[in-house]
Amino acid sequence: MECEHAFAPSAELKWRETAPTAAPGFEQPFAGLQRTAGNLAIQRSAQASAGLNNALGSPPSVAGGPVPAPEVPLFVQKDSQASSVQEQEMGAVGGNASVLGTSATGGAPAGTAGGSACSIPGHCPPFFCTPFPGGKLLAGLSRDSLAPILLAGIAAKVNPRVVPLWSQYLFGGAPPQDLSPSFGADFTNSATTAATTDFLADEVRKGIESTPPSVPAPGTGSVILDVPTLIPSAIAAIGTPGGPHEMNFNVIGEIPGNIAGGIGKDQTTCPVGALPSPFDDDRTANGSAQVTQNPDGSMDVVLAMNYLVHDTIDLCPGDCGAPVEQLATVPMSRFEASGVSGDVPFTVTFPAPPRTFTAHPAVPPTPTPPAPTPPAPTPPAPSPTVSTYTVQSGDTLSAIAAHVYGDPNLWPKIYQANRAVIGPDPNLIFPGQVLTV
């Protein structure tokens, strides 16, 4: 997962004027969360934190005093490509998250390999995604106090439907799951999906125009093309992290932006948390293009595709977000690094929005001629009608031929057909003999 997820306490909750009493160095995160959420549970937790301060370590601070009150809702957006305007006005997380590693000023994150391949983003506090020194017990107590506030904010500012997933994350992670039935429609309707589909449709159009397929003549049928075979480079581009056509769900307020975001290829190389994801993020597409030729040589195309998304709900490896977001992302990341929170890997398969367009090949292809119509079978010759003639007194074969065929010279035909009856002499026939004619 290459972005960090959309989170925000309710905008209606007001800042408190005073912070609760807490041990030195531990006031700011609890006071900030209390100001943000206005929840008495934070005050109770802060009042009880005096004995935990040294064990848990110091949270983020802002130079010159306490964390200021934000003018906008707090977001933790799993968004690796958010615009600077979004970052400033809505607290979207920007920049591709990199996997975690040893920092010069902070401790080494739990479960990481260290080194430049697993580094904390430079704009994040050095203790982002580093474990609490107090161990799992104290980290778990802190998580239990903050979880209701964090989940309430997600429900208010994203959607209550994603709260169970974030609860799984906070409380240890979950094995891979298929979210297609629950969230497939949300991904189909995402602005990111629409933009990716437009990109792929344009690539299909270019492919057809540059290399026109052989299509039946107008009005006689169509041809079906396999999209991945037609545009393999474009399919690869939507799954390339940081690329211009990366399928990055970075729209603030959308469910896909909260649980998916950009593409991270560091889950397996830098495992962090109670239950690290077994796979890296990925995006791919498959489907078909139905092509029909028009009389003017243009081609109508109907595109039908499906997407497959692999992603993980997590923060480590990831990005801490804007300063106002760090009130939530830093403690959540430390829960994960301490081993009390874990990844929630998932897959989503969903249909692309339909796309139809007309391609205009520079050189119209020669239409495929229709198959010739096979000739109608010759009906069998009718069986000859068999009749008989009874010899009368005074008959001869020539007289019978003249009577039956109208030609006395056809008498040999009668003789050959009746030789067994007549005998060897055609001139000797008897009244009453029945001849076949």
pLDDT score recorded for residue 368: 58
Query: What DSSP string runs through 14-25?
Result: PPPSSPPP--TT
**Would the CA dihedral through 408, 413, 418, 420 be positive or negative?**
positive
Separation CA 399–CA 352 (nearest Å): 90
pLDDT score recorded for residue 30: 39
Mean pLDDT within 218-224? 93
pLDDT score recorded for residue 370: 66
- Secondary structure of 108-139 as H, E, C letters: CCCCCCCCCCECCCCCCCCCCCCCCCCHHHHH
pLDDT score recorded for residue 382: 61
Highest mean pLDDT among 132-141, 167-176, 406-415: 167-176
Residue 89 has pLDDT above 60, yes or no: no
What's the pLDDT band for 2 if we cut at 50, 70, 90? low
Range scoring the smallest mean pLDDT among 16-30, 105-119, 150-164, 344-358:
16-30
Please tell us whether the domain made up of 388-436 is placed in CATH 3.30.410.
no
Residue 32 has pLDDT above 70, yes or no: no
| Cβ–Cβ < 8 Å for 110, 338 | yes
Percentage, residues of the chain above pLDDT 70: 70
Mean pLDDT within 80-85? 34
Residues of the chain with CATH 3.10.350: 388-436
Range scoring the smallest mean pLDDT among 179-188, 279-288, 417-426:
417-426
Separation CA 199–CA 235 (nearest Å): 10
Highest mean pLDDT among 64-78, 80-94, 226-240: 226-240
Mean pLDDT within 397-401? 86
Separation CA 284–CA 141 (nearest Å): 40
Q: What's the pLDDT tens digit per position in 115-155?
A: 333 778 888 998 899 998 888 999 999 999 999 999 998 89
Structure tokens at 344: 């929630």
Residue 329 has pLDDT above 60, yes or no: yes
Q: What's the pLDDT tens digit per position in 229-276?
A: 999 999 999 999 999 999 999 888 899 998 998 898 999 999 999 999
Distances (CA, A) of 223 to 212, 290, 292, 341, 357: 11, 6, 7, 51, 15
